[in-house]
Amino acid sequence: MVTSTHEASHRIFQDRPELLTPVFDLLGVPMSAKASVSVLSADVTEIQPLERRVDTVLRVEPSDGNAFLLAIETQRKRDNRKATSWSYYVAYLHEKFSLPVLLLITCTDLCTARWATGPFTCEVGGWTTHCTHPLVLSPANVPVITDRRTAARNLAMATFSAITHSKNPESRAILEALLGALQEADPQTALYFSGLLEIGLGDTPARETWRKLMSFTNFFPGRGTLLEETYLEGQAEGEAKAILRFLEARGISVPKAARDRIADCTDLDLLNRWLDRTPHVRSIDELFAEGAETTADRTETGPEART
C-alpha cells in the first residue's frame, strides 16, 4: 500500500531537483554541480495484463558528463519480490531509453536499508546473469540537520532529512531547525515544504510534533509578516493545490467538476482529510467518499428521525 511517507519521500526529488547534488555527495557518486533534470514517465508496463510502475524516474544531464536515468523507489519494509522487480526496472529503462540507469532506494528503517543495498543477483550454479546494486538513502547516511542555518541553505535536503529521521529521538530538534529556516523563506516555498513534510511524516509521533510547531502562536510570532498573511488568506488554496498535485502524480483522473470542488473548498478540516487520503485513493470518488457516506447516512436516518 502506498503511504503518505512513501509518496513524499520520492515526490520531493521530482519537485526539487536541487536535492540531487547533496544526495549524490552522500552516496559517493560523482556528480556535476550543474545538471538539467527532467521527470520521465514512471510506467514500465510491457503487456496490458501486468502493470509495473517505478515511483520516480528522472533524466539527469550533467553539464560536464553524459546523461543517465535515476530510478527512485521508496521502501518501507523488506519485500523479497523487489529483488526481481528492481532488476526488471533497470533493464527495461536501459533498453527503452538507451541510457545507463542508477537505482536509488529511500528508507526510513535501518533494517530495511541494509537489506535494500543488495546485491540482488540472478545466477545458476555460480554463473551470474545479472546483478543489481541499488544506492540507498536511510538514517544511516542522511545527515541529521538540527541547525537552522544549515537547514536554510538547502530546504529540500532539510525536509528530506526530517522525513528520513522521523523516528529519531532528535526529531523535535530536527523539526525546530527546519521550522526556523522556513520562517525566513518566501511564503510559497514555506507553505510547500511545510505541507510536504506533514504528509511525509505519515503516522509517526513526529507528525503531531510538527503540527503543534506549526500552530499559529508558534509559527507566526504575530509580527504581521507576509508569511503570516499568506498563511491566513491562502492556506486553503495551498492545500487544494497540494491535493491536485499529488493526485496528478499518482495518475488519478480528476474531472473538471472535481477539480473545481477541490479548488473552491475553504473548509481546512475537509481539505486536510482529503490531503491525508491522496496517497491511498484509487479514484476521485474515493477521495470524496466521506461526503458520500455522510449524505447516505443522513438519507437513512431522516425517516427514523421523523417517526
Of 226, 240, 296, 249, give the one whose Cα is nearest residue 273.
Answer: 240
CA distance 155 to 196: 12
**DSSP structural state of residue 19:** G
Count of positions (residues) in the chain: 307
Q: Where are the domains of the chain?
A: 4-137, 148-291
Q: For the purposes of burial, counting CB atoms within 10 Å of the CB of 300, is it exposed (0-12), middle (13-18) or buried (19 or more)? A: exposed
CA 215/CA 197 separation, integer angstroms = 15
The amino acid occupying position 141 is N
Beta pairing class for 101-106 and 135-137: parallel
**pLDDT tens digits along 129-159:** 889 999 999 999 999 999 999 999 999 999 9
pLDDT at 278: 87
Is residue 225 pLDDT above 60, yes or no?
Answer: no
Enter the CATH code of domain 4-137: 3.40.1350
pLDDT at 7: 64
Other C-beta atoms within 10 Å of 278: how many?
21
Per-residue model confidence as pLDDT tens digits over 158-193: 999 999 999 888 899 999 999 999 888 877 788 788
CA dihedral 172, 198, 161, 38 (to 10 degrees): -170
pLDDT band at 119 (very low <50, low <70, confident <90, very high): very high
Q: Which residue has the cell 515511483?
A: 55
Let me know: does 164 contact 75? Beta carbons within 8 Å. Answer: no
Over residues 32-66, the pLDDT tens digits come to 767 777 777 555 444 443 445 778 889 999 888 78
* pLDDT tens by residue, 295-307: 333 333 343 333 3
Q: How far apart are CA 136 and CA 114, in angstroms?
A: 8
Q: Which has more pLDDT, 296 or 127?
A: 127
If you average pLDDT over every residue of the chain, what do you get? 80
Place of cell 560536464: 64
**Pair 166, 147: CB distance under 8 Å:** no
pLDDT for position 98: 94
Whether the per-residue pLDDT at 228 is higher than 80: the answer is: no
What's residue 41's pLDDT?
58
Sign of dihedral through CA atoms 74, 78, 81, 86? positive
Q: Tens of pLDDT along 1-19?
A: 445 566 677 678 777 777 8
